[in-house]
Chain A
Amino acid sequence: MNDDRPAATQADLPAIRERWVGVEFDVATFEMEPGRMVAWATACGDTDPRFIDPTHPDFQAYPNFTSHCTTHRVLPDEFPKIGPGFGIDGGKTVDCLGPIRAGDVLTGAATIADIYDKTGRSGTMVFIVQRMTYHNQRGEHVSTVDWKMIRQL
């Protein structure tokens, strides 16, 4: 879908940061299915039975498993246009805070954690950090994933 809105400038960033950092904009649930947990760990090249053998007494999700448990919305509705196009993926950082077991149901909440700019060889870039926090059915915080989206001004 085309976004015909005018793109924000560097001068707009403080106000954008003030308005949007900390805003929670989506929630979704994810059921931890053992076959998918094994497939993920195997794709990561791990052979530890804790991650690839569902019969292992300590079977759990590979530590970065939640990196693909995303909601349908990347950014909040009405989030301003920053830079042309969709930008590039700046990668994800996963904090594994507790074991995720087969059958767990995680609730993931998406928040804008940070918006910051930096300059480099290619000019000024804006980093939008989308943070997903995951809690299991017992309310335990088991994982946090920070996803950086990079836009060029």
Chain B
Amino acid sequence: MILDLHTHSVKSDDGRAKVENYCKWIQKKQLPLDGFVLTEHRQFDADSDYRELEDRYGLVILKASEVETEYGHVLIYGVNDDLVNSFDFADVTNPLPMVLEAADRCGAFAAPCHPGRKNVGLFAHYLTKGAVDGVHTVEVLNGGSIPGEDELSVTRAAEFGYRGFGGSDSHIVSRIGYCATEFDDDIEDVDGLLNALRGGSFRPISLRGLADDRENGDQP
């Protein structure tokens, strides 16, 4: 099963994609995605209900968050009321250890994203502030990366023994699926996603070429 674990909709201040348009794009371009996770910036969108879209398009659509810390951005899956109330999602200076601890305590799963970004990614901060205990998984393939960043993420993640996953970080519809994560298990809901992430049976995949070809109208 393939999920894009990092997408943004118009609920994010810089997102330009409506959720249904993601669904239409996946269907029209026949992308091999079984679903995607909405990771809105600095918030958790508790209100939106995408079950009707899931049924209509045969996709899994889950909700998560992308928060900001002193060590860069962090994706959190399995956000619940306890976690939302445990720290300020809008604060861009959250301490990473606090976010990791809060996620663990509340039954969520936190993982730094685009850690290979120059100056602002997790591994750049490691160089100046040292490594942080509690990191176990990072997004090693990110659809917004420039050349060299994902390579650095993969290398450094291996050095630290972190598991890696992929996500497109799409803010417009045509970018969804650039990177994604292949799971051995079937996932139908957030609990399934949490179990799969904790189980570790997943791998990052790049669909960048496929998505580009199909964006240009070339059907493989």
Contact present for B13 and A127 (CB under 8 Å): yes
User: What is the 8 Å Cβ interface bit string for chain A, positions 95-121, against chain B (1 contact, 0 not)?
Assistant: 000000000000000000000111111
Asked if A10 is at the interface of the complex by the 8 Å CB criterion, the answer is yes
Contacts of B118 in A (CB 8 A): 121
Interface centre among B42, B72, B118 (most CB of A within 10 A): B42
Contact present for A119 and B90 (CB under 8 Å): no
Contact present for A119 and B117 (CB under 8 Å): no
Asked if A124 is at the interface of the complex by the 8 Å CB criterion, the answer is yes
Contacts of A123 in B (CB 8 A): 119-120
Asked if B68 is at the interface of the complex by the 8 Å CB criterion, the answer is yes
Contact present for B90 and A116 (CB under 8 Å): yes
Tell me how many residue pairs across A and B have CB atoms closer than 8 Å. Answer: 24
Complex Cα distance, B93 from A6, in Å, reads: 22
Contacts of A124 in B (CB 8 A): 92
Contact present for A118 and B92 (CB under 8 Å): yes
Asked if B63 is at the interface of the complex by the 8 Å CB criterion, the answer is no
Contact present for A121 and B92 (CB under 8 Å): no
Contacts of A121 in B (CB 8 A): 117-120
Q: Which residue of B lies closest to A118 (CB)?
A: B92
Contact present for B120 and A118 (CB under 8 Å): no
Residues in A lying within 8 Å of B, measured CB to CB: 10, 116-121, 123-124, 127
